[in-house]
């Protein structure tokens, strides 16, 4: 009897270990995720400043946001990864000069541009077989180019050159992953969040003298994306 019980126990443990190994194999296959997102970046705080009371008003408009990301699931709830983001915000020249200004003969501008290289940590919570909620925290570096503009008048040109600067960047986001019900593995995600960075640029004042300014380039972000698990 003891030998029979021992044999049944060994058999049970063997079956359990085999099933667990299969589960781990399946989990391993799905632990990696790579995705792309496209959306809009809306300037906030002083990055949305449209007042001449600021010595260096940003006059930034809502613009394009692109994101490429990768994550690895450490458990059912936690994942870690990295992402690269590109942000493009046009300079609103209509805030700088009046369209009906007869002294102005021509004007041009180049947008605010930033690239973010970030490390990400995710907390994921399955709501059902088809939907997963998640929150994300990010930190890393931003590579920024300030806006530039030139206004030609009957009495001469006014010019603001661009400058490059790197800075610490961080952010957060939350969203939902929607899993396909068919044979496709594709995951559709909706996300909203914020990203913060404050590079130091060298710019011109009204007298044509250079000075340094720490310019907040904060934005609220809204994006739609697709992710492939593997």
Q: What is the DSSP track for 67-110?
A: EEEEEEESSSSEEEEEEEEEEEE-B-HHHHS-TT-TTEEEEEEE
Tell me the per-residue pLDDT of 124-182, one tens digit each, with 9 for 90 and over. Answer: 999 998 999 999 999 999 999 999 988 887 787 788 899 999 999 999 999 999 998 76
Q: Which whole-number Å values give the CA distances from 33 to 72, 83, 140, 170, 210, in the listed order?
A: 6, 12, 20, 22, 46
Architecture of domain 32-229: Beta Barrel (2.40)
Which pLDDT does position 100 carry in this prediction? 66
Residue extents of the structural domains in the chain: 1-30, 32-229
Burial 92-102, CB ≥16 within 10 A → b, else e: bbebbeeeeee
Which pLDDT does position 51 carry in this prediction? 67
Tell me the per-residue pLDDT of 33-73, one tens digit each, with 9 for 90 and over. Answer: 999 999 999 999 889 876 666 667 889 999 999 999 999 99
For residue 123, how many C-alpha atoms fall within 13 Å in the half-sphere facing its CB? Answer: 5
pTM over 0.85: no
Residue 4 confidence class, pLDDT cut points 50, 70, 90: very low
Nearest to 46 by CA among 60, 65, 28, 27: 60
Between 159 and 219, the more confident residue is 219
Number of helical (H) and strand (E) elements in the chain, helices listed first: 2, 13
The two beta strands, 63-73 and 78-89, are antiparallel
* Residue 139 near residue 169, CB atoms below 8 Å: yes
Residue 160 β-bridge partners: 149
Which pLDDT does position 8 carry in this prediction? 38
C-alpha Rg value of the chain to the nearest Å: 26
């Amino acid at each position: 009897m003891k030998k029979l019980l021992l044999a049944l126990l060994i058999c049970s443990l063997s079956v359990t270990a085999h099933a667990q190994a299969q589960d781990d194999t399946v989990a391993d296959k799905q632990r990696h995720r790579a995705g792309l997102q496209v959306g809009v970046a809306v300037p906030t705080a002083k990055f949305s400043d449209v007042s001449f009371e600021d010595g260096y008003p940003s006059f930034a408009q809502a613009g394009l946001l692109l994101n490429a990301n990768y994550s690895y699931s450490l458990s059912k709830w936690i994942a870690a990864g990295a992402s690269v983001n590109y942000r493009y915000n046009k300079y609103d020249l209509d805030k700088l000069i009046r369209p009906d200004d007869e002294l102005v003969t021509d004007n041009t501008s180049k947008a605010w541009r930033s690239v973010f290289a970030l490390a990400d940590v995710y907390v994921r919570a399955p709501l059902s077989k088809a939907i997963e909620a998640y929150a994300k925290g990010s930190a890393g570096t931003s590579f920024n180019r300030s806006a530039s503009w030139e206004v030609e008048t009957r009495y001469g040109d006014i010019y603001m050159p661009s400058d490059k600067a790197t800075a610490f960047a961080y952010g957060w986001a939350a969203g939902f992953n929607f899993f396909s019900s068919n044979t496709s593995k594709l995951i559709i995600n909706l996300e909203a969040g914020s990203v913060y960075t404050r590079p130091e640029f060298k710019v011109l004042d009204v007298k044509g003298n250079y000075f340094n300014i720490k310019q907040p380039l904060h934005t609220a972000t809204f994006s739609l994306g697709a992710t492939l698990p593997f």
